[in-house]
Structure 1
Amino acid sequence: MLDGMPLVDAHVHAPRLSTLKPAWREWAAEFGGRYDWRSAYSADGDPVPASLDALLESEGVDRALLFCEYSPRATGIQPIEDNLPLVAHNPDRFRLVANVNPHLHHPVAAEVERQLSMGAVALKVHPVHGAFSPADRELYAAYEVCADRGVPVIVHTGSSTFPGSRARFGDPALLVDVVEDFPSLDVIFAHGGRGWWYDVAAFLALAKPNVWLDVAGLPPHKLPTYYARHDFTRLATRMVFGTDWPGVPGVARNARAFAGLGLPEEVLRGVLAGNAAKLFPGLGI
């Protein structure tokens, strides 16, 4: 807990550094440079389960959702199997998030089933790094699996700085058909439409009961400006806290910055943990 409130970091990357392209390490050094994230890693560049667990404990994190990613053109291959030792070390704190890329996985439904069978509590798709539309009909089979299982889908929305990315696939409007075709499927817009599409992401989160905003990678103090055209308190009821760790100046620091926005306590508790508890099965928080 942090300052008496449960805390879920719903957007954490803890890959083996040897699986990544140089741009990822440069990103982590630039955005997490004031944060001692490397203390959770071995000299060989592998996450040390006990060290990462202790670091997140010190930051007040009760649950952390660990992302994997299959994006060879942008960041590299970060297989879900690499996160298994972290979950094995502390299955109470760590949870898996699955990932598929339709250019690599066929059939995608079978791969989603495989990763969910490992205990994943959500599916992440990264159209910007993978250079595909999130509305690609091949992905509908994956969405159907998640809808049937009651598992949410997290979709990267907004820009990315990594070479090989295709920003046009980060437009949240591309997901309108998906949201409407799968009304029982919760769809979480990672990074909240970062860059050009804050208004589109916010409009859909307020208009559609199955759309949520993951605010990872966004400085909390700037959120009211990014979403200035919307009722921020109402919009915050649709938000899920995440940091994009390790590209963050600190989990506790970001959570406290969010607390400093003056939201009603019930809304703040929802952002920091309550909304995640509703969305991700089995968090037990």
Structure 2
Amino acid sequence: MLDGRLLIDAHLHPARLSTLKPAWKRWAEQYGAPGWRSAFDDDGVIVPAAFDELLEAEGVDRAILLCEYSPKATGIQPVEDLLPIVKHNPDRFAFLGNVNPHLHYPVAAEVHRQVDLGAVGLKLHPVHGGFSAADPMLYPAYQACVERDVPVVVHCGTSTFPGSMNSMAAPELLDPVLRDFPDLTLVLAHGGRGWWYDQAAFLALMHDNVWIELSGLPPSRLPDYYQRFDLRRLARKFIFATDWPGVPGVARNARAVAALGLDDDTLGLVLGGNAMLVYFSRTA
């Protein structure tokens, strides 16, 4: 708990450092809070107990961990690397699966495999993976997520990592997916960061099953990013997330959200309630 509220961080990257490109490490050093390396051992591998203690100190009740298969941009961070962390404290840790249609075939089989490992959702990274979220190659993955009743998180924001394809980040690319899979829950990671805040907000307000995830967004800037919308209304579709380790602090970000002046009910949804609904309602 943080200041008496449930706190769920829905976007963390506890990756094995040896699997990552140099740009990822520079990003973590530039934007991360001092001491983020304390969760890793000398070989650059997360120490589950140390990571658990770090998040406990930040007031995090539950944390959703991400893997990634993006060899051109960040590297391959296999889902299996997350399993020891989750095993250490399954009450705090959960994880998202990840597929790249250039690497996984058939994609539906890989989705089912990762959900069977315990994934509470699927992350797609079109920008780092070099594909469109509307590519028909991904339709079997979407169908698998509908069948397994798990959400899909799609990176919808610019990336500065070499090899990124920022044209693939536009939320509007998800319009045919929403048309063809009306029962699919979609989460827009990074909330349209860069040029697409309006697109992300419009989709979230138009569709009950679309959410905006705040990873990588300074909370104090949210009123500016979504200035064309009623922030109090839009915030009811927000899911708190940080993009750890590239964040000045989880508790610091959460308190910055609290400082936006949202009503108590809405703030509770942003910091934990919406994530509980999207990721954990089927296992509750």
Once the two structures are superposed, residues 41-99 of structure 1 have per-residue CA deviations (whole angstroms, 9 ceiling, x without a partner) of 11111100000000000000000001000000000000000011101110110001100
CA distance in 2, matches of 1:283, 1:216: 23
Mapped contact 1:2–1:59 kept (Cα < 8 A): yes
CA distance in 2, matches of 1:27, 1:261: 27
Q: Hey, what does 1:214 align to over in structure 2?
A: 213
Which residue type is aligned with residue 13 of structure 2?
Answer: H
Could you tell me how far 1:149 is from its partner in structure 2? 1.4
Equivalent positions of 1:101-140 (< 5 A) are 101-140=100-139
Q: Hey, what does 2:278 align to over in structure 1?
A: 279
Partner-residue secondary structure (3-state), 2:27: helix
Which residue type is aligned with residue 5 of structure 1?
Answer: R
Partner-residue secondary structure (3-state), 2:280: coil
Once the two structures are superposed, residues 201-236 of structure 1 have per-residue CA deviations (whole angstroms, 9 ceiling, x without a partner) of 001101111110001000000000000000001000
Which residue type is aligned with residue 116 of structure 1?
Answer: V
* Identity level (%): 62
Mapped contact 1:68–1:78 kept (Cα < 8 A): yes
Superposed CA RMSD in Å reads 1.0
Could you tell me how far 1:35 is from its partner in structure 2? 2.9
Once the two structures are superposed, residues 231-280 of structure 1 have per-residue CA deviations (whole angstroms, 9 ceiling, x without a partner) of 00100000100000000000000000000000000000000000001100
Which residue type is aligned with residue 185 of structure 2?
Answer: D
Equivalent positions of 1:80-95 (< 5 A) are 80-95=79-94
Q: Hey, what does 2:172 align to over in structure 1?
A: 173
Could you tell me how far 1:281 is from its partner in structure 2? 2.7
Partner-residue secondary structure (3-state), 1:155: strand
Q: Hey, what does 1:54 align to over in structure 2?
A: 53
Partner-residue secondary structure (3-state), 1:180: helix
Residue 176 of structure 2 corresponds to residue 197 of structure 1: no
Could you tell me how far 1:282 is from its partner in structure 2? 5.3
CA distance in 2, matches of 1:115, 1:267: 32
Mapped contact 1:63–1:283 kept (Cα < 8 A): no
Mapped contact 1:179–1:210 kept (Cα < 8 A): no
Once the two structures are superposed, residues 116-150 of structure 1 have per-residue CA deviations (whole angstroms, 9 ceiling, x without a partner) of 00000010000000010000101010001111111
Equivalent positions of 1:10-49 (< 5 A) are 10-32=10-32, 34-49=33-48
CA distance in 1, matches of 2:263, 2:149: 29
Q: Hey, what does 1:8 align to over in structure 2?
A: 8
Q: Hey, what does 2:153 align to over in structure 1?
A: 154
Which residue type is aligned with residue 125 of structure 1?
Answer: L
Which residue type is aligned with residue 211 of structure 2?
Answer: W
Mapped contact 1:238–1:275 kept (Cα < 8 A): yes
CA distance in 2, matches of 1:41, 1:198: 34
CA distance in 1, matches of 2:45, 2:148: 32
CA distance in 2, matches of 1:284, 1:101: 26
Q: Hey, what does 1:224 align to over in structure 2?
A: 223
Question: Normalised by the size of structure 1, how large is the TM-score?
Answer: 0.98
Mapped contact 1:16–1:78 kept (Cα < 8 A): yes
Mapped contact 2:149–2:282 kept (Cα < 8 A): no
Partner-residue secondary structure (3-state), 1:237: helix
CA change 1:157–1:241 in 2 (3 A) is same
Which residue type is aligned with residue 239 of structure 1?
Answer: F
CA distance in 2, matches of 1:280, 1:137: 25
Runs of 5+ unmatched residues, structure 1: none
Which residue type is aligned with residue 13 of structure 1?
Answer: H
User: Aligned pairs, how many?
Assistant: 284
Which residue type is aligned with residue 116 of structure 2?
Answer: S
Q: Hey, what does 1:188 align to over in structure 2?
A: 187
CA distance in 2, matches of 1:136, 1:110: 17
Runs of 5+ unmatched residues, structure 2: none
Partner-residue secondary structure (3-state), 1:70: strand
